[in-house]
Amino acid sequence: MIASAHSADKKVFEISRLSNEAKELRSAFMDGRSKLMRLKMESTIEKKVVEKGLEISEVPPKKIRIKRQE
């Protein structure tokens, strides 16, 4: 009976520890995802491009299509 209670307590502590670890990992994931979203924003990219001495094109890009010759 006592061994069973100790085993149950041990499992409860393990579940609690794993739950806390999952919360921490989820939080780290959300932080990383929000940083990535900020880095992908057009305004952030523009600042980085200007810092490197490049200019932003005023002409929009054109799609080039190549037809297959059969």
Q: What is the pLDDT of residue 5?
A: 81
Count of the separate structural domains present in the chain: 1
Q: What would the two tokens of residue 22 be?
A: 């999952």
d(C-alpha 61, C-alpha 59), whole Å: 6
Q: What is the pLDDT of residue 21?
A: 98
Q: Domain for residue 38, yes or no?
A: yes
Q: What would the two tokens of residue 28 be?
A: 């780290």
Domain containing 9 equals 2-51
Write down the H helix ranges in 41-70. Answer: 42-51
Q: Domain for residue 12, yes or no?
A: yes
pTM exceeds 0.85: no
pLDDT along the chain (70 residues), means of 10: 83 96 98 95 91 89 86
Question: What type of residue sits at position 64?
Answer: I
Q: Domain for residue 59, yes or no?
A: no
Q: Domain for residue 56, yes or no?
A: no
Q: Domain for residue 17, yes or no?
A: yes
Q: Domain for residue 58, yes or no?
A: no
Q: Domain for residue 60, yes or no?
A: no
Q: Domain for residue 62, yes or no?
A: no
